[in-house]
Amino acid sequence: MNANRLLFAMICVSALTLAGGGSGLHAQDLGKIGKAKPFTFSGSIGGGVNFYHSNETLTTRDPFTWNLYGSFMPTIYNFSLPFSFVVNQYSRSYTTPFAQFGISPTYKWIKLHLGYRSINFSPLTFAGQSFKGAGIELTPGIFRFAAFYGSLNKAISEDTTSGRLAMPQYGRIGYGARIGVGTEANHIDLIYFHAKDDSGSVRLINDTVILRPQENTVIGTSFKLTLIKRIVWTADLAASALTQDLAAQKVVKDTLTKSIDKLFSSLIDYRNSTRVSLSGQSQLTLLLRSFNTTIGYRRVQPDFKSLGVPYMLNDIEAWQWNAGGVLSRGKVNLNANVTAQHNDISHNEESELHNLTASFNMGAMLSPHANLGLAATLVNLRQTDGTNHISDSIRQDEQVYNFSITPSFSFGSMSVANSLGFGLNYSLLNDNNPVTSPSTNSHTMTGTMNYTCSFLRQASSLNGSLIYNRYAQDSSVYTSYGINAGAAAQFLKDKTLGVQVTVGYMFNHYTLGTVSNNVTGGLNAHYTVAKRHSFSAYFNIVSTPPSSSSTNLQQKVPYTVSTTNTAGGLSYNYSF
């Protein structure tokens, strides 16, 4: 651990030394300070309350929630100090409200991060993970540097008194640095990241809860190369050493046989639970005036994990190709995508799952008043034998097809604008497993027609839609059709009051039982005062009367059971 902190400190000192070498830039900036305004302050602050009620046995939302937020932008001459906060009723599992505060002051090529912030190093090392601490980003000329130190996880002890279970987790500290050279179009970066759990930061009550503290060190590189302004090559590589249990016995460095294990033994306390693995991805893109295409490859070894990336699949290999083109002087847009992926690249799993996804989209402007959209998608899932033979009765082998067509038209005058749109969608699930196919083979047909009439001078509009849906599976068929209607208008002299109303009714039919119809309704209002104060309110209801539908239907189509859900809220925002 001491060696890691020493390495991190040396990188930070080197970066600050290089940044200090540009003293001429500081002198030029100081000369411009007198030309700017001494002080400005802008931002917004607000909050809201929401309620929710449902007669369902299992609810997914709290009956009452609240939130407060603010975003501020003070500037002192050319020096900006953005600041924001969010406080809300995050969960009953915590004794205090959920709150996050952060500030990222910026001056020229210097950016500081204080509080709850985030910095992206690369998709395989540190990305999508916020920290509570301090960070810095420097971009003087072709030099690129970023570093941070802070808390990645808040310690959460096991709680059996709040009535709602909370998953315990150790407090986790992390730090890292990225150093490189180049511009946005051409650059190469070297990356270092380290994280470690505090094994004494939580209290476990239940002996059956298994929670092991971890430690992780990741080193990687990322680069981007642009050739003749038309070809772009990007790549990310990473090696990770993850200790899955800090209580495991340490391993003597001399007993390690692999060179990569010996390298990481100098950066981390190597234990019996430490696993070293690799990952990489690369993309090659061709950019032309009316056509572009990209081919990509990604490979992540089993056990690869970075504690700086919240979600990542491992033990996978994937190829991806996509292309897009513009025809007829921009009136026709075409896009295609193919992705092939499989797991078990180590050939140690009992089975291997292959996933092939292909899609095609076309958008065409037939005339100034008519447009057409076409889309098709294929998903193929196929399970093959691994270390064991998979029986045909449990083997996964299915295809999902989806096709859609969406024409739309617009017409009207200077005072009235009309739009009419149609949608037709067909989906098919084909299961080749003879055991599961009777309960999974299905197809769905959906049709919609939407119409909107806008009265431009009166700042009001009317809208309506017809909906038809048919879902068939084996001998059962569920059909739903109905209508939605709505109106919106702005009132008062400056159109500062806006109101929107929607209602809907759906007729439902099921071949194996009786089902009920659905009633929906909603109301939204917005009011602005002096362009600074804004008030909003909403209310909606979805109701399905009681029915004698069978248990089988309730399992397959849960929204046909008798339910009434209501929700509403009020919010206020002040801008300055």
The answer to whether residue 530 sits within a structural domain is no
What pLDDT is recorded for position 562?
A: 67
Between β-strands 79-80 and 442-455, what pairing exists: parallel, antiparallel or unpaired? unpaired
The reported pLDDT for the residue numbered 159 is 66
Q: What pLDDT was estimated at residue 83?
A: 79
pLDDT over 70 (residue 79) = no
Residue 496 included in any domain: no
Model pTM?
Answer: 0.78
For residue 173, the model assigns a pLDDT of 97
Q: What is the pLDDT of residues 401-446, one digit of tens each?
A: 999 999 999 999 999 999 999 999 999 999 999 898 988 999 999 9
C-beta atoms surrounding 545 within 10 Å: 12
Give the other-Cβ count within 10 Å of 551's Cβ. 9
Question: Burial letters for 519-539: b for 16+ Cβ neighbours within 10 Å, e otherwise?
Answer: bbbbebebebeeeeebebebe
Structural domain includes residue 333: yes
Do 128 and 310 contact (CB within 8 A), yes or no?
Answer: yes
Write down the pLDDT at residue 96.
43
Could you read off the pLDDT of 223-240 as tens digits, one per residue? Answer: 999 999 999 999 999 999
Most confidently modeled range among 23-37, 207-221, 276-290: 276-290
Q: Identify the residue with better confidence: 210 or 531.
A: 531
DSSP state of 142: T
326 in a structural domain: yes
Q: What is the band of 304 on the pLDDT scale with cuts at 50, 70, 90? A: very high
- Determine the average pLDDT of the residues in 306-332: 95
What is the amino acid identity at position 15? Answer: A
pLDDT at 286 over 50: yes
pLDDT on residue 120 = 95
Tally of residues, the chain: 576
What's the pLDDT at 90? Answer: 66
* Confidence check: pLDDT of 558 > 90: no
User: Is residue 342 in some structural domain?
Assistant: yes
Label residue 512 by pLDDT band (50, 70, 90): confident
- Domain annotation covers residue 2: no
Whether 256 has a pLDDT exceeding 50, the answer reads yes
Give the mean pLDDT of the chain.
87
Both structure tokens of 109: 């090529």
Q: What is the DSSP string of 276-314?
A: EEEEEEEEEEEE-SSEEEEEEEEEE-TT---TTSS----
pLDDT higher than 80, residue 553: no
Residue 555 has pLDDT above 50, yes or no: no
Two tokens at 166? 């909370």
Q: What DSSP designation does 513 have? A: B
Radius of gyration of the CA atoms of the chain, in A: 29
Q: Answer yes or no: is 282 within a domain.
A: no
Band of pLDDT at residue 56, cut at 50, 70 and 90? confident
539 and 507 Cβ atoms separated by less than 8 Å: no
Residues above pLDDT 90, as percent of the chain: 68
Domain count, the chain: 1
**Domain that residue 322 falls in:** 315-457
Question: What secondary structure letter does DSSP report for 255?
Answer: G
Residue 357 — very low, low, confident or very high, per pLDDT cuts 50/70/90? Answer: very high
Whether residue 12 has pLDDT greater than 70: no
User: Residue 243's closest CA among 271, 266, 201?
Assistant: 271
Inside any domain, residue 324: yes
Sign for the pseudo-dihedral over CA of 82, 88, 93, 95? positive
Confidence of residue 484 (pLDDT cuts 50, 70, 90): very high
Write the pLDDT tens digit of every residue in 291-303: 999 999 999 999 9
Pairing verdict, β 533-544 and 215-227? unpaired
